């Protein structure tokens, strides 16, 4: 009797840098999909494959493999509107309406304290707060963008930085033209940084004049940059525009040529039906900031009507001075609940749509949908994992619902930016927490003593 041939070993699979096995994966694209027991293969900074875990075990060999048996894996969140450095003013001006908040507290404090060090330290704090909560990209509007870029790069985070424009002088700029020139020079200096992009960021219709808007429109068309602007945040803003310009701010921007797919309208709380229709017709985007809108008593944005018109809506935290958290889990929950309450429709803004608003819709608004916002192979590996087996979260029947209505940023366990781990089992990677706390204490004492 001849001896049996020994079994052949399985062929070696393709070697990849990382494989992440997860109990659930929500890729965002296709919409509404929840995959069970799937794995993500990552090569360098890119997603190579998304496939069942059993298949991944035979198809790939990983230099590093992470098993997340009680987690949901999904794209990193995108904060579509914030003023990151204002983390240093968290809780400094609470329980005030917008214009009093600005004129009596924020603008005076900024005139005394804002400079490159303030922006670097405040933005660094903001970056780590956002990373700890699963945010991997933020769209910023503030002064000294070179300092903000330095902080984002130090934290290993992606940023879309505003070329911010005001008519009035500050420590950063002397005029609208000066703001634009300095912002464009910063953009040129950072053009080789893959994780830094730029938006034109005129602050608001009430702080920017018509000639500046005309130059901004020309630059947006020439450079293919988004235009990031506060719009129709309060009724006072609209009343002031009627007084100064004889029309609503929206109509003024329409006449100046700002409406279009590059426009990211922040807040958009007080819109009439024809304005909603115009936003949809021109394929504009909206950055919805529900918590800030509530806290400043600005109002409730007509999200239901905007969704009915097919407007792309992303989520923003606004600043920690007006929120007071850079927390997109909170924004998802508030957005979904407010939309239901305002429309008396429990089906308005379901959980999967809230997740899309916190990811792919923000990417589309920034022109980054080909890079981030979903887990399609070929995209950059911007990811987060959320652990859902805490006893306070059980039972879990639907992980998408859980992410919006039950879990919070404290449940985020791991975060990757371009394939690099930035939060590992809830701990920041490469952060000197003691040094950061020391800087924050210095700023708190300085601001308290000079206010």
Over residues 335-348, the pLDDT tens digits come to 999 999 999 999 99
- How remote is the C-alpha of 120 from its chain's centroid? 18
Each residue's pLDDT tens digit, 353-381: 999 999 999 999 999 999 999 999 999 99
Strands 383-387 and 60-75: antiparallel
User: Which residue has tokens 């000197």?
Assistant: 432
Each residue's pLDDT tens digit, 252-284: 999 999 999 999 999 999 999 999 999 999 999
| pLDDT of res. 12 | 65
Each residue's pLDDT tens digit, 278-327: 999 999 999 999 999 999 999 999 999 999 999 999 999 999 999 999 99
Is residue 10 predicted with pLDDT exceeding 50? Answer: no
| pLDDT of res. 449 | 84
| pLDDT of res. 305 | 98
Phi, then psi, of 339 in degrees rounded to 5: -65, -40
| pLDDT of res. 3 | 39
Helix (H) or strand (E) holding 288: strand 285-288
Please compute the mean of the pLDDT values over residues 175-195 and round it to a whole number: 98
Please compute the mean of the pLDDT values over residues 234-263 and round it to a whole number: 97
Is residue 8 predicted with pLDDT exceeding 70? Answer: no
The domains located in the chain, with CATH, are 14-75+379-418 (2.30.40.10), 77-365 (3.20.20.140)
Q: State the average pLDDT for the chain.
A: 95
Each residue's pLDDT tens digit, 408-433: 999 999 999 999 999 999 999 999 99
pLDDT band at 5 (very low <50, low <70, confident <90, very high): very low
What CA–CA distance (Å, rounded) separates 410 from 82? 20
Give the pTM: 0.96
Is there a contact between 92 and 109 (Cβ–Cβ < 8 Å)?
yes
Please compute the mean of the pLDDT values over residues 62-80 and round it to a whole number: 97
| pLDDT of res. 98 | 86
| pLDDT of res. 450 | 73
pLDDT band at 451 (very low <50, low <70, confident <90, very high): low
| pLDDT of res. 4 | 44
Is residue 9 predicted with pLDDT exceeding 70? Answer: no
Is there a contact between 249 and 270 (Cβ–Cβ < 8 Å)?
no
């Amino acid at each position: 009797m001849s001896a049996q041939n020994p079994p052949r070993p399985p062929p070696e699979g393709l070697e990849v840098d990382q494989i992440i096995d997860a109990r659930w994966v929500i890729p965002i694209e296709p919409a509404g999909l929840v995959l069970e027991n799937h794995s993500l293969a990552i090569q360098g900074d890119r997603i190579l494959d998304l496939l069942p875990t059993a298949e991944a075990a035979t198809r790939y060999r990983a230099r590093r493999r992470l098993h997340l048996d009680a987690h949901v894996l999904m794209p990193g969140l995108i904060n579509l509107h914030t003023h990151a450095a204002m983390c240093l003013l968290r809780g400094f001006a609470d329980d005030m309406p917008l214009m009093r908040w600005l004129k009596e507290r924020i603008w005076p404090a900024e005139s005394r304290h804002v400079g490159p060090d303030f922006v670097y330290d405040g933005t660094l704090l903001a970056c780590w707060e956002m990373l700890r909560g699963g945010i991997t990209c933020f769209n910023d509007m503030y002064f000294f963008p070179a300092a903000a870029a330095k902080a984002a790069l130090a934290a290993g985070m992606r940023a879309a930085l505003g070329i911010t424009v005001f008519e009035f002088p500050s420590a950063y700029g002397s005029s609208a033209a000066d703001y634009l020139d300095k912002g464009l020079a910063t953009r040129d200096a950072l053009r080789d940084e893959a994780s830094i992009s730029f938006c034109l960021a005129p602050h608001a219709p009430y702080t920017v004049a018509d000639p500046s808007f005309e130059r901004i429109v020309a630059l947006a068309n020439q450079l293919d940059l988004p235009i990031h602007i506060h719009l129709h945040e309060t009724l006072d803003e609209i009343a002031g525009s009627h007084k100064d310009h004889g029309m609503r701010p929206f109509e003024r921007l329409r006449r100046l040529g700002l409406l279009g797919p590059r426009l990211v309208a922040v807040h958009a709380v007080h819109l009439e039906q024809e304005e909603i229709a115009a936003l949809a017709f021109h394929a504009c985007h909206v950055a919805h900031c529900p918590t800030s809108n509530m806290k400043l008593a600005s109002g409730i944005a007509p999200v239901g009507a905007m969704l009915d018109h097919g407007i792309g809506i992303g989520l923003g935290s606004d600043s920690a001075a007006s929120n007071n958290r850079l927390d997109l889990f909170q924004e998802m929950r508030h957005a979904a609940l407010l939309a239901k309450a305002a429309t008396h429709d429990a089906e308005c803004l379901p959980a999967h749509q809230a997740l899309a608003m916190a990811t792919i819709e923000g990417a589309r608004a920034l022109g980054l949908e080909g890079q981030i916002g979903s887990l399609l192979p070929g995209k950059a590996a911007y990811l987060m994992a959320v652990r859902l087996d805490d006893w306070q979260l059980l039972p879990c029947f639907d992980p998408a619902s859980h992410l919006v209505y039950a879990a919070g940023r404290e449940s985020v366990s791991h975060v990757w930016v371009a394939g690099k781990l930035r939060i590992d089992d809830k701990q920041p990677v490469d952060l000197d927490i003691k040094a950061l706390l020391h800087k924050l204490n210095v700023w708190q004492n300085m601001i308290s003593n000079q206010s």
